[in-house]
Amino acid sequence: MKPINCPECGYLIQDNSTFCKMCGCKIDKKSETADENYSSPDTQPSGTGNQTEHSHGNETVNVNPAPSPSPNVQSFPSGGATPPYPGQFPVNGAAPRYNGNMPASMPASMPASSMPVQYPGTFPGQYPGKYPAPYAPAGSRYPTYNPQRNKANSSGKKLWIILSSVIGGILLLAGITFSVVYFTVPDRKYNSACAALEAQRFDEAYDGFIALGSYKDSKDKASESMYKKGVYLNENKKYKEAADIFNKLGNYEDSFAQYQSSYYNYGLQLIGDGAYSEAIEVFTSLGSYSDSELMIDEAKYCYIVNHLDNSDATTYNYLIELKAVNYKDCKQLYNTLYAWKATKFYFNTGSDSTDKKTSISRSSPLYCHFTIEGGPPEGSFYAYASALWPDGSKMNKQKSAVVMYRNGTFWWGWKDGIYLDPKNGKTGTFILILYDDNNNEIGRSSVRITK
């Protein structure tokens, strides 16, 4: 193998190359003869007839009378001018500066000191340092600069381009996703909540609007959902649930008035259901709304007539309150329910005796035993008694010496008998009558008097 010059750009290549590595020109094998006459500038062919020697003492001088340019040396522009920009070459090719004046043509054996100097800098063409064809030096003395690409840098650029594309795609996708989430999804949820409200699915609508936060008028729509639910419940006689909703809505539209109305109806509903104490609490909380104060008394009255039990403390308390304001027939109810009663009468001859006699001698002691019932809880009173003798004489009312109370057993008697002169006393029926402290008869009983 031997070096040859590219016929297009002059780049030095091997003779077995099929194309130029510099310019890509296809190499014709006939061009191999172009370098057959090539000789190194530093060596003169032997047997040259033009060479003569002149000796000056011990100095031998070689004279070349008519040097001719080497066939591989290119011609350079004359004038010896340097490029306008040091270190850079003009666009039409590299014009290297020379030491001294630039010759019109380059001789084959130009001294080394006069060879072209390569200046680093920006070179024209695709690759830095590439010599253009008109000025490409020929021969092994002037090899063309053949820079190598930085493959690592090229790979880095490709990687950066790929990464930039991927990151850009991710950012674009994120932007699109954000736009969809921020604009499309909330709007769809808002419309869904509105549809639920229209279909009277109030809880679903409320939850939907609450989830949207401050999106559009979602907060107002949430309140509207609850308000309409309250109206719906009130119309369907679910007064308690409606009242709770209106109470939570506060000042939204006429929610307070709706609350009062619903809660009032709830109180009436409680009375109808027999929950009188709860109804009283409802009407009490409503204060002066409508006739709530009157409905408190009505609830108490309804409790009384449905709990006519003199042992019930609540009934007693309600009757005391209503009797004081003359509500309906509460006085009569009180007197009937809490009237004192004397029951379980029996007669014998001793205060501590428990035997029961149907007749007593006119000369024997006489005791009438009885039990007190009725009256208000924890109540007590002084009883009064009167009597009728068999001969028709009557004992005026006399006050008991002891206080009587509910479920207590007491007696009224005569330890010396009912007659001062038993022998002259008539036989017949003896009657004892008891009264409460309001002069109301609370009971009577009788026994037969014998000789």
Same domain (yes/no): 408, 345: yes
Number of domains in the chain: 3
Of 311, 336, 361, the domain-final residue? 336
Torsion of CA 94, 97, 98, 100, to 10 degrees: 150
Question: What average pLDDT score do residues 432-437 get?
Answer: 97
- Which residue type sits at 289? Y
Same domain (yes/no): 3, 105: yes
Burial environment of residue 243 by CB neighbours within 10 A (0 to 12, 13 to 18, 19 or more): buried
pLDDT tens-digit readout, 395-431: 999 999 999 999 999 999 999 999 999 999 999 999 9
Q: Is residue 223 part of a domain?
A: no
pLDDT tens-digit readout, 196-242: 999 999 999 999 999 999 999 999 999 999 999 999 999 999 999 99
Same domain (yes/no): 24, 107: yes
pLDDT tens-digit readout, 11-61: 777 777 787 777 777 776 554 444 444 444 443 444 444 443 443 344 443
Of 100, 121, 148, the domain-final residue? 148
Same domain (yes/no): 262, 374: no
User: Is the pLDDT at 189 greater than 90, yes or no?
Assistant: yes
Same domain (yes/no): 2, 141: yes
The C-alpha atoms of residue 397 and residue 444 are separated, in whole angstroms, by 13
Residue 321: give the domain boundaries. Answer: 237-336
Same domain (yes/no): 2, 100: yes
Same domain (yes/no): 75, 115: yes
Q: Which two tokens stand for residue 157?
A: 């650029």
The C-alpha atoms of residue 23 and residue 27 are separated, in whole angstroms, by 11
Question: What average pLDDT score do residues 126-155 get?
Answer: 52
Q: Is residue 139 part of a domain?
A: yes
Q: Is residue 230 part of a domain?
A: no
Q: Is residue 28 part of a domain?
A: yes
Same domain (yes/no): 318, 378: no
Of 125, 148, 171, the domain-final residue? 148
Same domain (yes/no): 319, 381: no
Same domain (yes/no): 362, 376: yes
Q: Is residue 53 part of a domain?
A: no
Same domain (yes/no): 21, 134: yes
Q: Is residue 116 part of a domain?
A: yes
Q: Is residue 162 part of a domain?
A: no
Same domain (yes/no): 7, 71: yes
